[in-house]
Amino acid sequence: MKVVPLVPPYIASLRPYQAGRSLEHGVKLSSNENPLGTSPKAIEAMERSLRGLNLYPNGGLELREVLAEEFDVKVDNVIAGSGSEGIMSNIIRTFLCDEDEVLTTEAAFIGFQVLARSRGVKYRTVPYDNWHYDLKALAAAVNPNTKIIYLANPNNPTGTIFTRHQFDEFYRHVPERVLIILDEAYFEYAKDNPRYPDSMYYRYDNVITLRTFSKVYGLAGARIGYGFAHEELIRNLLKVKLPFEPSTPAQAAGIAALADKEFLHRSLEMNARCLRRLVEGLSEIGLPAAGSPLGPDANFVMTILPTEQEAKRVFEELLAQGVAVRPLASFGLPNCLRISTGTDEQTELCVEALRRGYAANVGAGRGS
Ligand SMILES: Cc1ncc(COP(=O)(O)O)c(C=O)c1O
């Protein structure tokens, strides 16, 4: 029997997700994880929760209650799921019909690209404007079939943000029948920037905000994320969501992590320090970092190489020196690399490896 006809063409054309590279003995700066580890309180709570593994979970209800309290909204406005990508996948399944279209920036977060394309609907993009979302162009690109607009703020892989004013201008041009996904996976890293708009202060009925415990709370392996939206949107998402997601340990970890302000504070402090160091290290060897002169508002930086070949070469050189970063060809940016912050020591190793790998070669290969 030939299996191929069973696979729709839009699935056949997808490439399996490639995770950030790990090294057995080396530094992994390829997946925007928390180099400090996990909140110890979250680990304790997870361990305690193991005694209840014989029982089915309650769909994230306790976490939803805690989040509702923390963010001053109703439980009916909150959803919890297996990572924010888990919720994103439910959004795709709940709201998209065959003739609908999805609209976003070029080279958007790869997780969203794959989810949207796997639904077989039309996927449209507009180019970046100096590595920022071009919200004006996005608003102008809305057509009668546009159903979902995806915006990540801060954005992955560029680390850039848009402001409240820019969003409001954009929002005025978007019809209410369009669902806007505001992906705030890196919210905590940006929240102290006065230019960054916390979407909890500008709620609209057709906007769903997504956040995660994967990044600053160090729980990427637990798969726990959450979202806020109008109760009608949440009610319909809950019909589609797998009833027993998130898992009991993931939910317990999320609740405990949210209360561990000390771990949050330490993570943010280290990130700010190491991000500055990475941006500075790149600038020392003449490589630009996307974003404002102050650098990105996230736990990573994107750098732009002159060519695709050089991006590949620097990636390989860093690997050879024991530092894994993220090549961005799969996102659609073959001449860019994304580097996550590490601990102070890991960050320093990366800066040093960049200096040896890039600067040396520029001197040898192109400088003369
Ligand atoms: C913009 C963005 N959204 C969502 C996610 C996925 O988060 P989660 O682990 O909660 O599924 C990531 C992870 O890299 C991300 O960069």
CA angle 71, 133, 188 (to 5 degrees): 30
Which ligand 1 atom sits nearest the alpha carbon of residue 225? Answer: 10
Q: What is the reported pLDDT for 366?
A: 46
Structure tokens at 324: 């894994």
One-letter identity of residue 250: A
CA-CA-CA-CA dihedral for 5, 11, 12, 17, to nearest 10: -150
* Mutation pick for ligand 1 pocket among 215, 247, 330 (CB with most ligand atoms within 8 Å): 215
Pair type for strands 326-327 and 336-340? antiparallel
Stretch 72-98: mean pLDDT: 97
Query: Which residues face 146 on adjacent strands?
Result: 101
Which ligand 1 atom sits nearest the alpha carbon of residue 84? Answer: 10
Q: Which residues contact 274 (CB under 8 A, 6 or more apart)?
A: 35, 341, 342, 343, 344, 347
Cβ atoms of 80 and 246 within 8 Å: the answer is: yes
Q: What is the reported pLDDT for 3?
A: 64
H-helix or E-strand spanning residue 152: strand 146-152
Please tell me the distance from the alpha carbon of residue 257 to that of residue 251, in angstroms, as a whole number. 10
pTM: 0.95
Q: Which domains does the chain have, with CATH numbers?
A: 4-36+262-361 (3.90.1150.10), 40-260 (3.40.640.10)
33 lines ligand 1 (CB under 6 A): no
Instruction: Name the pLDDT band for 367 (thresholds 50, 70, 90).
Output: very low
Q: Is the pLDDT of residue 275 over 80?
A: yes
What distance in angstroms lies between residue 284's CA and the mean position of ligand 1's atoms?
Answer: 30
111 lines ligand 1 (CB under 6 A): yes
> Tokens 């890293």 map to which residue?
189
Instruction: Name the pLDDT band for 201 (thresholds 50, 70, 90).
Output: confident
Which ligand 1 atom sits nearest the alpha carbon of residue 31? Answer: 14
State the distance between the two ends of the chain, measured CA to CA, in whole angstroms: 60
Q: What is the reported pLDDT for 362?
A: 60
Stretch 147-166: mean pLDDT: 97
214 lines ligand 1 (CB under 6 A): yes
Which ligand 1 atom sits nearest the alpha carbon of residue 223? Answer: 9
Higher-pLDDT residue of 26 and 301 is 301
What distance in angstroms lies between residue 84's CA and the mean position of ligand 1's atoms?
Answer: 6
One-letter identity of residue 23: L
